[in-house]
């Protein structure tokens, strides 16, 4: 697994599956698994991140711009969209490394959109 500690809000490079399970692609993702469960589980719940902007944004999408005050802490290189409707439960061994982390304000943005995506 990754060399740095993986926790809720970590941005990791991970082998993320295509939705039809035909293949995987190494991509950044946000870890959503609560810290108190991390040691007890073999899997992590991940949220899809992409630098490819969709033609139509959904209310569940969050765009992080390079000019954002917390962007440098994420380890991302480009403007990115967090697609909170694209979640995957993945084995921890698929984590290649930790890129960075989301601060509390960014996690709040993600959690707000997760509530929309999950109908909570």
pLDDT, one tens digit per residue, over 3-28 is: 468 999 999 999 888 888 898 889 99
CATH number at residue 37: 2.30.30.110
The reported pTM is 0.89
For residue 74, pLDDT over 90 is answered with: yes
98: left (phi over 0), alpha (psi -120 to 50) or beta: beta
For residue 89, pLDDT over 50 is answered with: yes
pLDDT reported for residue 4: 65
Domains in the chain: how many in total? 1
Q: What is the mean pLDDT of residues 35-58?
A: 93
Q: Could you tell me if residue 39 is inside a domain? A: yes
Q: Could you tell me if residue 37 is inside a domain? A: yes
15-23 long-range contacts, CB within 8 A, separation 24+: 15/90, 15/94, 15/96, 16/46, 16/48, 16/88, 16/90, 17/88, 17/90, 19/86
Q: Could you tell me if residue 4 is inside a domain? A: no
Enclosing domain of residue 77: 10-118
């Amino acid at each position: 697994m990754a060399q740095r500690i993986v926790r809720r809000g970590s941005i990791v490079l991970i082998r993320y599956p295509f939705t039809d399970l035909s293949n995987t692609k190494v991509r950044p993702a946000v870890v959503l698994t609560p810290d108190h469960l991390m040691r007890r589980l073999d899997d992590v719940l991940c949220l899809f991140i992409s630098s490819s902007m969709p033609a139509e944004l959904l209310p569940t999408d969050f765009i992080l711009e390079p000019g954002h005050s917390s962007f440098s802490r994420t380890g991302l290189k480009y403007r990115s969209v967090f697609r909170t409707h694209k979640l995957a439960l993945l084995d921890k061994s698929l984590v290649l490394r930790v890129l960075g982390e989301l601060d509390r304000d960014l996690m709040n943005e993600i959690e707000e959109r997760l509530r929309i995506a999950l109908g909570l």
